């Protein structure tokens, strides 16, 4: 047993460290003697033979003589020596590690999976020592390297359907690429992989899976990720390549929406879970762990599943949903490209037309004010869950505005595209159906928040009339032409329209540069000549600029002499200047005669 003897000598110190294969590299103890950075070429070759022959012999292809028949589901396996068992593969003893003298076939991980589900074995296309990669040149029958031996080869993939089209295909490879210590180029995760290129692990694995998908489009593909071996302890390149292989397989499975079972999570123990011949191949206990882990990982799922604090959704075929909206239990969820539910996140819908938000529970929000988790901005999502942009929203009897970025406007004044100002309170709610003073002007803001303009309207007291000009400013202490009625009015210090009201006659008329104006019963400034005051008795004369004639004796429109008082009213009856009495007509005030004062 030359091979086993050399390997046992080589790994003696490694076992003392008690490495747990948990997916991390563990440094050797301080007192351990320094180990070589790489295994020798002979050791690597012995490890990669992956059989238990004392003397190596050429590999020959032989028909499998044993199988397993059960239910209607046909399952095939594509793997390396960890999945082999003599007479169940199409290879001679040189291509198989496991056989009756090591353990019963019922103890292998793959047979346990078949029996637990009542599945029928299609083909076990596993070959000891085989890698996923191939440099495209080397042909080595002894170490099972070549065109027909690597796992991405057409020859091996074609054989998976030899005994019937498989419903499921388990792929478990990469261990020999890792243990080659650089002979196989592992590489790194790539944004895109090249189909048909096989001298790099990522490209080769992608090629292998893509070929399987093309040849068996209806089969479910389950990929097993290699575990850490005891060689990760002292050989950094092996520990690193184990991690790289795992990352690549996960990445490809995520991109292709395949199940990936990460065996690094098993914490396989060197002395308890591995065959002592090389501490790479699982014993019965290790096989049981792999089988149980696989069975748990492939359990059919349907509906919402929580794992490690994240949510996933599986359709009726047990397939993980990705990049899709799902209505579940009265709520809408979005499951991202990696399958996880979007949580506390804003996303674009499939059309790219709308933005949606999913709260801390993963539920799409509707008719909700939502704070941006990454800033102080506040958004609004309507009844369909669509974020609103450049839009006013009325909710709970208040109105808010959301700008072109969907953020709630929080300033004092927003001017819309038509030039209308809209005013907002400190809490971001828009003022409407109410008065507002901006420090310079008073506005009445209508139901849509725009200022009322060019409008005679009632004061909130319901009695007085006020005017809002073309800018929406309430007019105070000023004459104002009102286009809506077609005449000029005057508004006092409270903004009230001057009309022929009783207190106006008793108290005062407005004086502007010692000129007198009269605002009639409708509030119109008289500016068209001879007119009658609202009392129905007195007359006056208004010039075109609205000023009243107050110059004493003059003429009426009929050429008759009249007397205009200081207030613009034509005198009626008897008047005197202290020298004469003048008799003015009692109705229209025209001059009738005079006599001296005695």
- Mean pLDDT across the stretch 12-28? 44
| In the predicted structure, residue 300 carries a pLDDT above the cut 60 | yes
pLDDT at 56: 79
**What's the rounded mean pLDDT across residues 528-540?**
94
Question: pLDDT, tens digit, for every residue of 104-130?
Answer: 999 999 999 999 999 999 999 999 999
- Quick one: CA torsion of 526, 529, 534, 539, rounded to 10 degrees? 140
Provide mean pLDDT across the span 5-29: 46
Q: Which of 232, 220, 237, 234 is nearest to 183 (CA)?
A: 237
CATH superfamily of the 74-298 domain? SGNH hydrolase (3.40.50.1110)
What value does the mean pLDDT take over residues 583-596? 94
Q: Is the pLDDT of residue 21 over 80?
A: no
pLDDT digits (tens, 9 = 90+) for 192-215: 999 999 999 999 999 999 999 999
Secondary structure of 281-323 as H, E, C letters: CECHHHHHHHHHHHHHHCCCCCEEEEECCEEEEECCCCCECCC
- Summarised one tens digit per residue, pLDDT across range 551-568 is 899 999 999 999 999 889
pLDDT at residue number 49: 62
Rounded Cα distance between 6 and 178, Å, is: 20
CB atoms under 10 Å from CB of 430, counted, come to: 20
pLDDT at 48: 66
Q: Which two tokens stand for residue 195?
A: 């189909």
Q: What is the pLDDT of residue 502?
A: 36
Largest distance between two CA atoms of the chain: 164
Asked if the model's pLDDT at residue 18 lies above 50, the reply is no
Q: Alpha carbon of 232 to those of 27, 44, 239, 267, 571: distances in Å?
A: 9, 14, 4, 13, 121
The mean predicted confidence, pLDDT, of the chain is 88
Domain ranges of the chain: 74-298, 306-387, 501-596
pLDDT at 414: 87
302-307 — which CB contacts under 8 Å span 24+ positions? Answer: 303/328, 304/328, 304/329, 304/333
pLDDT at 26: 41
Beta-strand relationship, 487-491 and 310-314:
unpaired
**Can 306-387 and 501-596 be said to share one CATH topology?**
yes
Least confident of 36-40, 227-231, 257-261, 339-343: 36-40
Supply the pLDDT for residue 6. Answer: 54
pLDDT of residue 327: 94
Strands 74-79 and 120-126: parallel
SS3 string of 139-170? CECCCCECCCCCCCCHHHHHHCCCCCCCCEEE
Query: Which has the closest alpha carbon to 229: 181, 298, 294?
Result: 181
**Which pLDDT belongs to residue 54?**
75
443 near 453, Cβ under 8 Å? no
Class of domain 306-387: mainly beta
**Is the separation of the CB atoms in 548 and 540 below 8 Å?**
yes
- Whether the per-residue pLDDT at 582 is higher than 70: the answer is yes
pTM of the model: 0.57
Taking phi over 0 as left and psi of -120 to 50 as alpha, with beta for the rest, 321 belongs to: beta
Is the predicted pLDDT of residue 94 greater than 70, yes or no? yes
**Distances in whole angstroms, Cα of residue 264 to Cα of each of 11, 112, 128, 247, 281:** 20, 20, 21, 11, 14
Per-residue pLDDT of 389-404, as tens digits, reads 999 999 888 899 999 9
410 band by pLDDT with thresholds 50, 70 and 90: confident
- Cβ distance 234 to 28 under 8 Å? yes
92 close to 62: Cβ distance less than 8 angstroms: yes
Q: What is the pLDDT of residue 126?
A: 97
pLDDT in tens, 26-62: 443 445 455 566 777 777 766 666 777 777 788 999 9
Strand pairing partners for 195?
none
Give the number of other Cβ atoms within 10 Å of residue 290's Cβ.
25
**Highest averaged pLDDT of the listed ranges 54-68, 145-159, 426-440:** 145-159
Report the pLDDT value the prediction gives residue 320, as an integer from 0 to 100. 84
Count of CB atoms situated within 10 Å of the CB of 285: 13
Distance, first Cα to last Cα, the chain: 163
- Structure confidence at residue 11 (pLDDT): 55
Mean pLDDT of 412-421: 87
How far is it, in rounded angstroms, from Cα 232 to Cα 255?
28
How remote is the C-alpha of 397 from its chain's centroid?
29
Helix, strand, or coil here: 5? Answer: helix
Say how far residue 514 (Cα) sits from the centre of its chain: 71
pLDDT computed for residue 16 by the predictor: 47
pLDDT of residue 23: 39
Three-state DSSP class for residue 243? helix
Q: How far apart are CA 353 and CA 103, in angstroms?
A: 60
Q: How far apart are CA 25 and CA 228, in angstroms?
A: 9
Taking alpha carbons only, the member of 368, 298, 369, 361 closest to residue 328 is 361
159-198 pLDDT, tens digit per residue, is: 999 999 999 999 999 999 999 988 999 999 999 999 999 9
Q: What tokens does 100 get?
A: 């009756």
Phi/psi at 44 (nearest 5 deg)?
A: -65, -45
Least confident of 66-70, 276-280, 350-354, 418-422: 350-354
Burial class (CB in 10 A: 0-12, 13-18, 19+), 581: middle
Give pLDDT, residue 388. 96
Q: Is the pLDDT of residue 10 over 60?
A: no
- Select from 264, 111, 242 the least CA-distant residue to 184: 242
Confidence at residue 5, expressed as pLDDT on a 0 to 100 scale = 47
- Distance, in Å, from the CA atom of 464 to the CA atom of 262, rounded to the nearest integer, reads 82
| Bridge partners for 331 per DSSP | 328
Count the Cβ atoms, other than its own, within 10 Å of residue 193: 22
Question: How far, in Å, CA of 373 to CA of 349, rounded?
Answer: 19
pLDDT digits (tens, 9 = 90+) for 455-469: 999 988 889 999 999
Tokens 């105070």 — which residue?
476
Q: Which CATH architecture has domain 501-596?
A: Ribbon (2.10)
Identify the pLDDT of residue 14. 53
Q: State yes or no: pLDDT of 546 exceeds 60.
A: yes
Mean pLDDT across the stretch 409-437?
88
């Amino acid at each position: 047993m030359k091979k086993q003897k050399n390997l046992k000598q080589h790994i003696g110190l490694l076992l003392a460290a008690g490495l747990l294969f948990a997916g991390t590299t563990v440094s050797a103890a301080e007192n351990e003697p320094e180990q070589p950075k790489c295994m020798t070429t002979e050791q690597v070759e012995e490890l990669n033979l992956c059989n238990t022959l004392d003397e190596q012999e050429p590999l020959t292809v032989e028909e499998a003589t044993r199988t397993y028949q059960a239910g209607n589901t046909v399952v095939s396996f594509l793997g390396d020596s960890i999945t082999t068992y003599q007479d169940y593969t199409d290879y001679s003893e040189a291509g198989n590690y496991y056989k009756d003298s090591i353990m019963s076939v019922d103890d292998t991980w793959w047979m346990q999976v078949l029996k637990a589900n009542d599945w029928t074995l299609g083909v076990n296309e596993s070959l000891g020592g085989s890698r996923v990669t191939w440099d495209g040149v080397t042909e080595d029958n002894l170490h099972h390297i070549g065109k027909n031996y690597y796992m991405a080869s057409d020859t091996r993939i074609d054989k998976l359907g030899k005994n019937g089209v498989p419903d499921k295909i388990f792929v478990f490879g990469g261990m020999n690429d890792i243990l080659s210590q650089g002979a196989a180029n592992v590489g790194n995760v790539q944004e895109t992989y090249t189909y048909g290129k096989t001298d790099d692990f990522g490209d080769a694995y992608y090629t292998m899976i893509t070929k399987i998908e093309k040849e068996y489009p209806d089969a479910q593909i389950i990929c097993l990720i290699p575990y850490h071996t005891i060689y990760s302890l002292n050989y950094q390149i092996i520990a690193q390549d184990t991690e790289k292989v795992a990352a690549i397989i996960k990445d490809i499975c995520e991109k292709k929406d395949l199940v990936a079972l990460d065996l690094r999570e098993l914490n396989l123990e060197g002395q308890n879970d591995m065959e002592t011949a090389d501490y790479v191949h699982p014993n019965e206990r290790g096989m049981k762990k792999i089988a149980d882990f696989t069975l748990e990982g492939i359990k059919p799922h349907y509906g919402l599943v929580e794992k490690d604090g994240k949510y996933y959704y599986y359709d009726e075929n047990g397939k993980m949903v990705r990049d899709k909206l799902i209505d579940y239990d009265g709520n809408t969820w979005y499951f991202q490209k990696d399958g996880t539910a979007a949580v506390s996140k804003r996303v674009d819908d499939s059309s790219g037309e709308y933005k949606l938000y999913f709260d801390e529970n993963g539920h799409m929000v509707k008719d909700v004010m939502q704070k941006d988790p990454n800033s102080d901005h506040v958004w609004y999502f309507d009844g369909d869950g669509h974020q609103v942009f450049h839009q006013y929203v009325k909710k709970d009897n208040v109105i808010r505005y959301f700008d072109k970025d969907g953020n709630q406007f929080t300033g004092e004044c927003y001017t819309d595209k038509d030039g209308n100002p809209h005013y907002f309170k400190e809490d971001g709610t828009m003022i409407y159906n109410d008065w507002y003073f901006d420090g310079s002007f008073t506005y009445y803001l209508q139901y849509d928040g725009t200022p009322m303009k060019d409008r005679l309207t009632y004061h909130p007291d319901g009695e007085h009339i006020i005017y809002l000009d073309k800018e929406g400013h309430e007019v105070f202490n000023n004459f104002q032409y009102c286009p809506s009625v077609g005449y000029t009015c005057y508004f006092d210090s409270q903004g009230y329209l001057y009309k022929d009201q009783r207190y106006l006659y008793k108290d005062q008329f407005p004086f502007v540069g010692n000129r007198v104006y009269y605002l009639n019963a409708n509030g119109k400034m008289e500016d068209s000549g001879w007119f009658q005051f609202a009392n129905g008795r007195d007359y006056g004369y208004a010039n075109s600029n609205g000023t009243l004639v107050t110059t004493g004796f003059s003429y009426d429109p009929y050429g008759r002499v009249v007397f205009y008082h200081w207030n613009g009213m034509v005198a009626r009856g008897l008047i005197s200047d202290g020298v004469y009495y003048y008799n003015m007509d009692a109705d229209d005030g025209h001059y009738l005669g005079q006599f001296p004062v005695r």
